[in-house]
Homo-oligomer: A and B are copies of this chain.
Amino acid sequence: MSKEITSRAQDYAQWYNDLVIKGGLADYSAVRGCMVIKPYGFALWENMQAGLDRMFKDTGHVNAYFPLFIPKSFLSKEAAHVEGFAKECAVVTHYRLKNDPNGGGVVVDPEAKLEEELIIRPTSETIIWNTYKDWIQSYRDLPLLINQWCNVVRWEMRTRLFLRTAEFLWQEGHTAHSTKEEAVAEAEKMLDVYATFVEEFMAVPVIRGIKTISERFAGAEDTYCIEALMQDGKALQAGTSHFLGQNFAKAFDVKFLNKENQLEHVWATSWGVSTRLVGALVMAHSDDQGLILPPKIAPLQVVIVPVYKGDEKKAEINAKAKEIMNQLKNLGVRVKFDDNDNNRPGWKFAEYEMKGVPVRLALGARDMEKNVIEVARRDTKEKKVVSLDGIAQYVEGLLLDIQHGLFNKAKAYRDAHITQASNWDEFEKLLDEKGGFISAHWDGTAETEATIKEKTKATVRCIPLNNPKEDGKCILTGKPSTQRVLFARAY
């Protein structure tokens, strides 16, 4: 099976698609731009959800659920928001079908036209702030720290499995605060939660930064982001956290009585990560043989494959394998003993390699005699013969090693791909020949940003948090600049 994967060198985009489809993560669907998330891919997402949800709750947030539909007029209430989101979206205009009088199956019933069209939520600020209006009267009702796990739809023209689909799954946090300082602190705290999750669970290093005005969320005062680097040198925005100021409170007239008994508009944040993270995970670690998944979120952490020679010692091998499986389960390890007789060991090795299972144990008759087992780690492909005594503890330690090893490898690659450019030629050359983040001076204007994007497809990914000040000249215009920013081509 692994032979069928296109190599990264040959066609990176096709390599990615091969991994997603042949690794059993997702599939195309009959609906344009929508994907089916297959059980193995969904298990990955469930592990991400579990990790994030725990972190959200540990920071005082609760979950709730708001309607899928947004009345069309709501989108128009926040001027910047409507520009950003009202364009490519799914519009519900009718609420009934009827039998075709001409016998052609079912047709839309023209008499069941909605008075006001409903938009499938592309993001839920508007419907949520319309609701918060009823929930917030006094400073005692604040803060509201609410998150929602749901599906959203953005009618993208060019879609790619996980990275950009018309429908996707995500979480969106929407918080309400009595002061600007508290809201800004919340937006920063959630960026921190995202960065910690992506680095510690997904083993993907990220740069924390702030977006330029042109790259801001439509309706935000500031957009914080985490940016990751993929193996082809392109950046990927892995999560965003927005300080929304009082924009949505003003649009939906949400005020509260402060401690001084005065009416004020409420301060807001919103923040989200999506199934896009699955795409980022695939691209960050995998190789030409298949997926490489970090142990902390791998659906399956260890697989035990028995290697029989006919029926020789089959019962003993099975008994020992089950014993190891139970020891690992007791340590909380997600483990499978694959004794399916329909497939040969070689086929299984390739299959679990493709699926990115971090550790593979192979146990045969001769191993039993010597009281050893073969341990193969997916990330480095290193194989080792290890004593069966204390094997569960050994594997537990190995899973941690793999988790750290993946992060360190990705970080070394990322760090080696942040390069300073001091003039335009260098900038273009770096983009084309090396890729990665390019640290360069920029005059701070949207015009220059747009021109650079037009010329090179590179955008300002972010202004890193705590960015050092440094006098310099914009690489495009030569105008004065006070700091370097990070440019890259991006997903």
**Chain A residues in the interface with B (C-beta under 8 A):** 27, 29-31, 34-39, 42-43, 45-46, 62-76, 82, 86-98, 105-106, 108, 117-120, 127, 130-131, 134, 140, 146, 150-151, 153, 155, 167, 169, 342
Complex contacts, A87 vs chain B, CB 8 Å: 96-98
* Shortest Cβ gap from A176 to chain B (Å): 13
Residue of B36, B127, B131 near A64 (CB, 8 A) is: B36
**Cα A42 to Cα B66 with chains together (Å):** 11
Docked complex Cα distance between A201 and B299 (Å) = 28
Residues on the B chain within 8 Å of A72, using CB: 97, 105-106, 108
A interface, by DSSP: helix, strand, loop or mixed? Answer: mixed
Residue from B30, B38, B62 in contact with A43 in the complex, judged by beta carbons closer than 8 Å: B62
Expressed in whole angstroms, the Cα–Cα distance for A62 and B31 within the complex equals 23
When the two chains form their complex, are residues B155 and A95 in contact, meaning their CB atoms are under 8 A apart? yes
Please state if A66 and B29 are interface contacts (CB–CB under 8 Å). Answer: yes
Q: Considering the complex, give the chain B residue whose CB is closest to the CB of A275.
A: B65
- Highest count of chain B CB atoms <10 Å: which of A36, A63, A76, A169: A36
Distance from A15 Cβ to chain B, minimum over Cβ atoms (Å)? 22
Whether B95 pairs with A91 at a CB distance below 8 angstroms is: yes
Supply 22 A–B pairs (Cβ within 8 Å), ascending by A.
Answer: A31-B67, A31-B69, A31-B127, A34-B69, A36-B131, A37-B64, A39-B146, A42-B62, A45-B65, A68-B120, A68-B151, A69-B90, A72-B105, A75-B97, A86-B106, A90-B92, A90-B118, A91-B92, A93-B93, A93-B94, A96-B155, A120-B120
Chain B residue contacts of A43, Cβ below 8 A = 62-63
Q: A118 to B131: give the CA distance in the assembly, Å.
A: 28
Known: A63-B39, A87-B97, A146-B39. A153 touches B108 (CB 8 A): no
Q: Say how far A69's CB is from chain B's closest CB, in angstroms.
A: 5
B96/A88 in contact, CB under 8 A: yes
Other A-B pairs, 18, CB within 8 Å; known A42-B64, A86-B106, A90-B118: A31-B71, A31-B118, A34-B67, A36-B64, A37-B64, A42-B62, A43-B62, A68-B167, A69-B90, A73-B105, A75-B97, A82-B106, A89-B96, A91-B94, A91-B95, A92-B120, A93-B93, A93-B108
Q: Could you tell me the distance between the alpha carbons of A69 and B33 in the complex, rounded to whole angstroms?
A: 11
Q: Distance in Å from the Cβ of A73 to the closest Cβ of chain B?
A: 6
Distance (whole angstroms) from the CB of A49 to the closest CB of chain B: 11
- 4 closest residue pairs by CB, A with B: A76-B105, A34-B67, A39-B62, A37-B65
Nearest CB in chain B to that of A65: its residue: B37
In this complex, the member of A82, A86, A140 whose beta carbon has the largest number of chain B beta carbons within 10 angstroms is: A86
**Which of A69, A76, A89, A120 has the most CB atoms of chain B within a 10 A radius of its CB?**
A69
User: Which B residues are in CB contact (< 8 Å) with A90?
Assistant: 69, 92, 94-95, 118
CB distance from A116 to the nearest CB of B (A): 10
Chain B contacts for A134, CB-based, 8 A: 27
Tell me which residues across on chain B come within 8 A of A82, comparing CB atoms.
Answer: 105-106
Cβ contacts under 8 Å, A140 to chain B: 342
Could you say which residues of chain B place their CB within 8 Å of the CB of A86?
A: 97, 106
Q: Which residue of B lies closest to A157 (CB)?
A: B95
The residues of B that contact A36 with a CB separation of less than 8 Å are: 64-67, 131
Asked if A69 contacts B167 (CB within 8 A), the reply is yes
**Cα distance, A130 to B88, chains bound together (Å):** 27
| Residue contact A89 to B95, C-beta cutoff 8 Å | yes
CA–CA, A108 and B36, complex, Å: 28
**Residue of A62, A67, A127 contacting most chain B CB atoms (<10 Å):** A67
Q: Which residues of B contact A46 (CB under 8 A)?
A: 63
